[in-house]
Amino acid sequence: MSEHNLQQRNQRTLRKLLIWAVAMFGFAFAMVPFYDVICDITGLNGKTSTTASTEGPSQVVEDRTVTVEFITQRGEGVNGDFTSATRRVEVHPGEITLVNFFASNPKSSDIITQSIPSVSPGEAARYLHKTQCFCFDQQSLAAGERKEMPMIFYLDPELPRHINTLTLSYTIFDVTDRVAATNN
Amino acid sequence: MSTAAAHDDHHHHAPTGLKRWLFSTNHKDIGTLYLWFSFAMFLAGGLLAMVIRTELLEPGMQFVDPEFFNQMTTVHGLAMVFGAVMPGFVGLANWMIPLMIGAPDMALPRMNNWSFWILPFAFLILLSSVFMSAFGAGNPAAPNFGWTFYAPLSTEYGPASTDLFILSVHMMGISSIMGAINVIVTVFNLRAPGMTLMKMPLFVWTWLITAFLLIAVMPVLAGAVTMMLTDRHFGTSFFNAAGGGDPVLFQHVFWFFGHPEVYIMILPAFGIISAIIPTFARKPLFGYASMVYATASIALLSFVVWAHHMFTVGMPLAGTLFFMYMTMLISVPTGVKVFNWVATMWRGSMTFELPMKWAIAFVILFTCGGLSGLMLAITPVDFQYHDTYFVVAHFHYVLVSGAVFSMFAAAYYWLPKWSGVMPNKLLGELHFWSSLISVNLLFFPMHFVGLAGMPRRYADYALQFADYNFWISIGGFWFGLSQLLFLAVCVLCAMKKGEKAPARSWEGAEGLEWEVPSPAPFHTYDTPPVVK
C-alpha cells in the first residue's frame, strides 16, 4: 500500500471517529428530553403533571383509605415560612380534597417563588391528579406578605392496591433573579 | 523510509533535550511521557490520600477542617482516575500497541503529541485550585463535591473553582478522545501483513475495545460538565429544580459516562494480565477467542448498568430489577476471564518472576473486588451499603489492587524492553510484598467498617470505628511509602543501572515486541514484519 493511500485511509477513519465523538456529545443533551419522556411514562423520580387535571374522578372508592402526607422544604435563598395547613390527610381514591399551603416573605423586597412537587413512591406520581395547584405557576410574594396557596387534588381510583401511603413533597425556590434575567 | 513514516521526514535528526519531549511525535517518547506523568499523578493523588488517612487516623477533628477534607477526597479521586489510571494505560498503549502489531508508529503522531501535552495543563488547572486552597489565596476552596460532582452540590453550591474543574475535565476529555481515536486508527490501518484481528495480542484487543468505550462516553462527560457550566453561569436549568430541571438527571448523565468509565480503567488491565500469565506459565493463553468475546460483552453490558450506582434515588421496582440483573450478568464474562487465566496456569511450567507475582496478585485481589461488586449489585442490600466504606473498599480493590497492580505488572514486564535493563530484583521484591500486604491492610478492613455503617466522605467517624481506622491509616501510609520503592526501580532503569536485558527478556515471552532489541530502538518496523 502506498504511503498516500494509507494517509487517506487514516484520515477517513479519523473523520468517522470524530463524527461519532461529536454525536455522543449531542447524545448527552438528547438525554435531557428523553429523560423527561421516561419520567412522564413511568413516573420516575416522582414527577407529577405540571398542568391542571381537567377531568374529574370517575368514582369514589369508599372502601379504601389512603394516607397522603405533605412535606415542605425551602430551597436555596428562601428564608420565610413554607408550611401546609395539615401534614397528613386520609382520603378515599376519587375523593376531591383541598389542602392549603402557606408561604411568607419576611424580606423587605418582593420575591417570585416557584414550588416543585415530588411524589414518593415515584410509582404513585401519575395517580395523583391536581385540579388546582400553586405549583403550576410562579407565585409572587410581596415584602412581608403571608400567602395562602390552595392545592386541590384527588387520587386516581386506579391507584395500585399496594400503595397505602404516599408523600407529596414541595420545595419552594426563590426565582426572582431567574425571572429578571429572562425578562431582560 | 517506508509505510506510515511520512510524518517523520526528519527522523534521523531528532531534536534533543527539552525539544525532544515537547515536540515528540514518536510513540515511544510519548508513551514514556504518559507513563511518567501517570506516576507523578499517582504520587500526587496519593499525597492527598495521605491527608485523608491522617485525618482519619483517630476519631475527632485533628489536622484539617472538614471543608478541606472534602476537597482532598474530591481531588484524590479525580487525580487518580483521570491523572493516574487513564493516562497510565494510554502510555502503555502508546509504547506497546505499535510494537505488538508491527507498526512503525501510531497512525496520527501529531495528534498523539497534542493528546499528551494537553494533560499536564489540565491538571495544572485542577491542582492549582488545591494549592490556592491550601495556601489560602483567592477564594479558598478547591472542588469539594466528590469526584462524581453531583448536582446541585457542584452547580448551585459549588465553589468558584468549579469552573477551573469544568475546564480541566474538558481538556482531559479531549485528550482521552484523541488518544482513543489514535489507538483505533492505528489498530485498523497499521497492522503488519498477516496480523489479522484474531491474531492480535489481547492487550491490543482490550485497548481497541476500551478506545471505542472512550469515544462513546467521554463526550457524554463533556456534555455533563457543559450543562453544569451553563447552569452555573448562563441561566439554564438542566439540573436545577427551581427552573424545571432535575438534579437526578445529572446522576443519569454522569453514570451513563461513569459506568463504561470503570471498564475503561480495567479492560486494558485484562489485556496486560493475559499477556503476562502465558509467558510465565509457558503455555499459550487458554481460550483466546472467548477472551475477546468476553471483553466485548463486558463493554456492551457496561452501557446498560449505570443506574446501579443510584438505586437509592427512588426508581420503580422494574427499573431496579433490570439494572440489578444486568449488573450481575457482567460477572459471567468476567468469570470467563478469571477461569481462563487460571486454566492458563493449570499444569503450566510456572515461575514467579516479578511481573507474574503482580499478575497473580491481580487475579486474586481483583476477583475479591469483583465479588464485593456483586454484593453491591443486589438492590435491597445496596440500600444498606450505599455510600458506606464498603463501596470504598470495593472500588479500591478493583482499581488499586486491580488496575494499578496490573500497571505495575506491565511496568515490570516491559521495563526491560523500554530501558534495556532488567528492573532491580531486590527493590522489586520489596515493592511487591510491601504493597501486597499494605494494600490489604489498607482496604480490607474498610469492608467491615462499611458493613457496620461508616459513611464515606466524612472527616470524622463514630468511636466504634476507631481501631479499624487506625490500622487502615497505617496500611495507607505503608502502601504510600512502598511506592517510593517503585520510583527507585524506575529511576534505576531510566539510568540504565542493572543487568542488561536481552531482546526476549523473559524466557517464555511470545509476541512481536520481543523480536526487537532491548531497549527498543527509537524507530522500529520501518519495514513491517510478516506475521505467519
Q: Please report, for the domain that includes residue A131, its CATH number.
A: 2.60.370.10
Q: Which of chain A's residues have a Cβ under 8 Å away from the Cβ of B156?
A: 76
Same domain? A24 vs A95: no
Of B215, B238, B313, the CB nearest to A21: B215
Cβ–Cβ of A35/B215 closer than 8 Å?
no
Same domain? A110 vs A169: yes
User: In Å, how far is A95's CA from the nearest CA of chain B?
Assistant: 26
Same domain? A86 vs A144: yes
**Distance, CA of B369 to CA of B375 (rounded, Å):** 10
pLDDT in tens, B210-253: 999 999 999 999 999 999 999 999 989 999 888 888 899 999 99
**Distance, CA of B385 to CA of B325 (rounded, Å):** 18
Same domain? A38 vs A53: no
Q: Which of chain B's residues have a Cβ under 8 Å away from the Cβ of A14?
A: 108, 181, 185
Same domain? A109 vs A38: no
CB B522 within 8 Å of CB B418: no
Q: Which domain holds residue A10?
A: 1-42
Which pLDDT score is estimated for A1? 54
pLDDT in tens, A65-103: 999 999 999 987 788 889 999 999 999 999 999 999 999
Domains of chain B, start order: 27-242 (1.20.210.10), 266-519 (1.20.210.10)
Same domain? A93 vs A122: yes
Same domain? A37 vs A60: no
State ipTM: 0.90
Model confidence at B513, pLDDT cuts 50, 70, 90, reads very high
Cβ–Cβ of B314/A175 closer than 8 Å?
no
Hey, is A98 helix, strand or coil?
A: strand
Segment of A104-118, B2-16, B437-451 carrying the highest mean pLDDT: B437-451
Cβ–Cβ of A21/B177 closer than 8 Å?
yes
Same domain? A134 vs A169: yes
Same domain? A148 vs A134: yes
Model confidence at B139, pLDDT cuts 50, 70, 90, reads low
Per-residue pLDDT averaged across B197-218, rounded? 97
Same domain? A83 vs A35: no
pLDDT at residue B421 tops 60:
yes
CB B145 within 8 Å of CB B158: yes
Same domain? A25 vs A70: no
Of B6, B189, B316, the CB nearest to A44: B316
Cβ–Cβ of A22/B219 closer than 8 Å?
yes
CB B117 within 8 Å of CB B175: no
Active site residues per annotation of B: 76, 105, 147, 175-176, 259, 261, 263, 274, 308-309, 334, 337, 456
Per-residue pLDDT averaged across B500-514, rounded? 95
pLDDT at residue B9 tops 50:
no
Element (H, E) at A146: strand A146-155
Q: Which of chain B's residues have a Cβ under 8 Å away from the Cβ of A20?
A: 215-216
pLDDT at residue B184 tops 90:
yes
**Would you say the C-alpha torsion B117, B122, B128, B130 has a positive or negative sign?**
negative
Which pLDDT score is estimated for B144? 92
Which pLDDT score is estimated for B518? 92
Cβ–Cβ of A32/B220 closer than 8 Å?
no
Of the candidate ranges B116-125, B389-398, B448-457, B522-531, the one whose mean pLDDT is the lowest: B522-531
pLDDT in tens, A11-50: 999 999 999 999 999 999 999 999 988 887 776 777 777 7
Model confidence at A57, pLDDT cuts 50, 70, 90, reads confident
Of B156, B220, B315, the CB nearest to A24: B220
pLDDT at residue B6 tops 80:
no
Cell 417570585, located at residue: A112
Of A7, A39, A174, the CB nearest to B6: A7
Which pLDDT score is estimated for B13? 60
Same domain? A20 vs A72: no
Question: CA geometry: angle at B146 spanning B408 and B270, to 5°?
Answer: 30
Q: Provide the domain count of chain A.
A: 2
pLDDT in tens, B437-448: 999 999 999 999
Per-residue pLDDT averaged across B106-120, rounded? 96
Model confidence at B96, pLDDT cuts 50, 70, 90, reads very high
Cβ–Cβ of B242/A175 closer than 8 Å?
yes
Model confidence at B12, pLDDT cuts 50, 70, 90, reads low
Of the candidate ranges B5-19, B333-347, B398-412, the one whose mean pLDDT is the lowest: B5-19
pLDDT in tens, B68-91: 999 999 999 999 999 999 999 999
Reading the block at residue A146, the C-alpha cell is 403571608
